[in-house]
Chains A and B, each alone.
Chain A
Amino acid sequence: VSKRHFHQFFGNKVANAEEKQMKRTLPLETKLDYLFDKYKDAEDEHFILADGVERLCSDLNLRPDDFKVLILAWKFNADQMYQFSRQEFLNGCKVLDAENISQINSRLSECVAELKNDPSQFKNLYKFTFKFGLDRAGGQRILPIDMAICLWKLVFTLNKPPILDRWLTFLQSDKTHIRGVPRDTWNMFLNFTETIGNDLSTYNDAEAWPSIFDDFVEYENDRLNQNVVSSDAERQNSINEKCKTDSGVI
């Protein structure tokens, strides 16, 4: 533990000194290689794995479940959660136009600002998030429901749709046995939030919505008719708890 603290405490200063030097002298490729090597896995030099990602996050001053980490993965076009390949890292930094940690950090803040104003960029990020969440090495094609819920909360950090909480409650309900979210449903959910706003009465089940939205709207209408509020509020709390613990892993 003490070694780690030491590294965190002094490492930055050392790194800053190094970086300054690099900025002056070395070609970009080499600088980025250096940066990558700082976080690369001890056993596989082509990848930054979970441990390295954690260090990277802490150098960036970010919690691993921060929205900006998702943006980073998106900008790096990361193929898998918890890891960056060397190629992804190098290309990603070039795309970001960043060659050190502080530049990455400031560029990420700029990205957040851009995302707020550009729906098409957000859509891009949203679609990426589904792919990002899949464990494709394990052959997953459908996002497991717990993962989907966490990612939905994360991806909507900036602009939370009014319907989101109710949607997540529905997914966790005992009455619905939903185990996973297919890509189409994930993508259509963004359209769904845009179309529906906060008013479920505008929903038209004769349109081409995935059937799970039909079920959701029906569930909500039933719930509103019955006026059972208290138990759902409780459930919502438990979901929040669960999500915190789940997302801590990222």
Chain B
Amino acid sequence: MSLKPKEMNFNDTWRDLQSTVQGVITLSNVSRCVWQDRFADVYQLCVAYPESLADKLYMETKIFLDNHVQGLLEDLLSMSHENIIQNYYECWRRYNEGIIYLHELYSYLNNQHIRKNKLSEAELIYGNHPNDDVEPMEIGELGLDIWKKNMIEPLRTSLVSAILECINLDRMNKGCFVNPEIVRGVIESFVSVNKFKKRNTIELYKKLLEEPLVAASSEYFRTQANNWFSNYTIPQYMERVIKLFEEESVRCQRFLHSSSHSIMKQCCEKCMVEDYLDVLNEEAISIISEERQQDMANMYILLRSVPKNLIKYMNGFKDHISSEGSLRLNEIKGDNMCMSFVEIIISIYRKYKTMIDNIFQSDKTFTSALDKACISIVNGTPNNKSYKSSELLAKYCDQILKKSSKGLSECEIDERLSDAIIIFKYLDDKDMFQKFYSRMLAKRLIHQNSQSMDAEESMIDKLKTTCGYEFTNKLHRMFTDMKISEDLTEKFNSQYLAENKVSLSLNFHVHILQAGSWPLGQNNVNSFTIPQEFTQSMQAFEKFYNSQYNGRRLTWMYHLSQGELKLCYLSKVHLITMQTFQMAILLLFENTTTLICSDIVNTLQLNWEQFLKNCITLVECKILISSTKELEKDTVLTLNEKYYNKRTRLRITASLQKEAPMETTQTVASVEEDRKLFIQASIVRIMKSRKLLKHIALVQEIISQCTTFTPSVPMIKKCIETLIEKQYMERARNSRDEYSYIA
């Protein structure tokens, strides 16, 4: 066969071609060689000499297909109307397949003549193109277009109503007489006929089917909702709606084009949820307060569709948690308040966290509702603010970390500390917690009362991760001090004493605590005449320390130190750990068995309160015997030479290490003071860099800079006033709401 263009007899060639086309379009048997000959014919017609017969071929083919589809329609109409879906589908399936082959047969015409003459995409978009009808189409598109005009158009009404009927039957669960595959095929044909188009391929589908379907479905949903509402309780209603949601979703998958899924879903939600919002909202409140979990989950699924409304539901949930929290917290009392405080909050937190995971599918908005509720539980309402939580939480940590706490394993301790951190994150007054915590930590360290150093450090690391380095800075330095002290004492005992050939009458261990890092306060240091027995050791150490660090001043904190005293005058030797002041008192009995209180006070230069505090313990544990019930200035104290305790080693310091209530108010006051200074400092910093700033902007920036506490606006205002008074800043001249920095 030659590819050379030649003169062609159109009518003869078309006759042959036409019969093949007929065969292809009806999916009859067309042999390979015939196919190839006709394929060549198409080529030859297109390149025919002296002029191309392509246009003529195109026209003839169009007329042929027109007639063919016309004929198919007539056949269809003559068949039973009841089976229109099946018949149409069968027809369409064959035609559609045939058209694909025909498209192949005409590939030369498609590629060389039609596609070349087609407008480019750019021309299509930017206009200036002639009417669509005039535009020649590729054979495949032509075939589908003819189908659309000659088949779908005339049948549209009956087809669509048949489809709607099918879907409706499926809904009613009466079983569809037509195979869903076929219905879907028919529906798909509405999309497929436009598959060659570059734009708006689903427009026909939307207009033809989706619109009436949505209208019909809305009607159905409404009736159904109305029906259920009057016959069932709301929980039952919700169950039915959710089931319907699921079924509709499956139905969409089964029948419809994917673009319709979300539209059908919205339609469902509109008719079954949005129209009943008021009633549902009301029910939601009682569902939450009764914690009916299944209903809560169902309600969530229903309301999720309306984000605005989900917020209402979420707030109801939040309020429920807060009120449960404050109710249970109000009930706690007794000694172990800090324990129940933490346990209650943690149990609430866990309970609702699980609920969110299981019921609300870990929805983020609900998680944040839980957070907000916990914040209000922990901190109280703004009108009823207390610093109690910070203290309770710090005490809880103290209890866990202290020695003698009911034998918890490392693992358990860590778990409880993590619980504390959960609450800590919700705490507004983190600085207050820090103050309390550092005081208690100081006591644990100084009195060597810590359960485990590892646990202590892990807690501080946890705080650091939550709140940053600044927050734990001082706590860290306290640890470092302990470490350094260890080394120093070691060096002093092993090196210094040996080198200088000094031998001390008593062993001792020194903690060197940096004044700035420890919450101890210099004003607690009282006058005290050191017993002779101590002086040698102390002087030696001072000398040693000055040789190590020149120019540092040491202050001895007697009230914090303790020692072990060996009582040899008793029938059994006892080793008793006690406060330094107590030691000093007992040492006075070295050469006598009775002393008068006022003499002791004079000799030791102790103030009366200190003396009383320390001496009462000695009397209470019967080492000393008092002549009067209460200790007075003229009370005579006698050494109890018959003192006996089962244990050889004991400590009597515990009662002195308790936090007095005075210290709590002091702590609160000092934190308030720190806050004011912090706010003032940040105001000055902000104003210095901004020079001119609006009041509201300044307040917001201050709040954002306060990470460890939430400053109250009145406090900020007072700080601003103070700084205006001190002339760090002034009100801007022309604007009442602005401040400017005074350099």
Contact = CB atoms under 8 A, between A and B. Distances in A.
B739 A211 contact: no
A43 to B, nearest CB: 36
B718 interface: yes
Interface in B691-743: 695-696, 713-714, 717-718, 720-721, 724-725, 731, 736-739
B725 A184 contact: yes
Interface string A207-220: 11111001000000
Contact of B725 (A182, A191, A209): A182
A46 interface: no
Contacts of A191: 736
A80 interface: no
Contacts of A183: 725
Contact of A211 (B696, B717, B736): B717
Given A184-B731, A191-B736, A210 B695 contact: no
A97 to B, nearest CB: 30
Contact of B721 (A184, A205, A206): A184
A207 B695 contact: yes
Given A206-B696, A207-B737, A182 B731 contact: no
Interface string A178-197: 00001111001001000000
Given A184-B731, A214-B717, A208 B736 contact: yes
B736 to A, nearest CB: 6
A178 B728 CA distance: 23
Nearest to A182: B725
Contact of B717 (A141, A182, A210): A210
Contacts of B714: 211, 214
B695 A208 contact: yes
Contacts, number: 36
Contact of B724 (A184, A209, A214): A184
Contacts of B725: 141-142, 182-184
B736 A210 contact: no
Given A184-B724, A206-B696, A211 B737 contact: no
Contacts of B720: 208
Interface residues of A, number: 16
A210 B731 contact: no
A188 B737 CA distance: 11
Contacts of B724: 182, 184
B739 to A, nearest CB: 7
A185 B721 contact: yes
Contacts of B737: 207-208
Nearest to A206: B696
Contacts of B696: 206-207
A67 to B, nearest CB: 27
A8 B725 CA distance: 46
A182 B725 CA distance: 7
Contacts of A211: 714, 717-718, 721
Interface residues of B, number: 15
Contacts of A188: 731
Contacts of B731: 184, 188, 208
Nearest to A142: B725
A210 B718 CA distance: 7
Contacts of A184: 721, 724-725, 731
A158 B632 CA distance: 70
Nearest to B712: A211
B564 to A, nearest CB: 53
A206 B737 CA distance: 10
A214 B699 CA distance: 15
B695 A182 contact: no
Nearest to A194: B736
A194 to B, nearest CB: 10
Nearest to B716: A211
A183 B696 CA distance: 22
B739 A208 contact: yes
A53 to B, nearest CB: 30
A133 B717 CA distance: 25
A120 to B, nearest CB: 14
A176 to B, nearest CB: 13
Nearest to B725: A182
Contacts of A142: 725
Nearest to B714: A211
Contacts of B739: 208
The residue among A182, A205, A207, A211 with the most chain B CB atoms within 10 A of its own CB is A211
Interface string A135-174: 0000001100000000000000000000000000000000
Contacts of B721: 182, 184-185, 210-211
A206 B714 CA distance: 10
A208 B714 CA distance: 11
Contacts of B738: 208
Interface string B449-476: 0000000000000000000000000000
Interface string B205-238: 0000000000000000000000000000000000
Nearest to B736: A191
A214 B696 CA distance: 15
Contacts of A205: 713
A205 B737 CA distance: 12
A142 B737 CA distance: 23
Nearest to B732: A208
A111 B478 CA distance: 70
Contacts of A141: 725
A141 B721 CA distance: 13
A210 to B, nearest CB: 6
Interface in A7-61: none
14 contacts: A182-B725, A183-B725, A184-B724, A184-B725, A185-B721, A188-B731, A191-B736, A206-B696, A207-B695, A207-B696, A207-B736, A207-B737, A209-B717, A211-B718
Q: Across chains A and B, which 6 residue pairs bring their CB atoms closest together, nearest first?
A: A208-B695, A211-B717, A184-B724, A208-B737, A211-B714, A182-B725
Interface of A: 141-142, 182-185, 188, 191, 205-211, 214
Given A141-B725, A185-B721, 9 more contacts: A182-B725, A188-B731, A206-B695, A207-B696, A207-B736, A208-B731, A208-B737, A208-B739, A214-B717
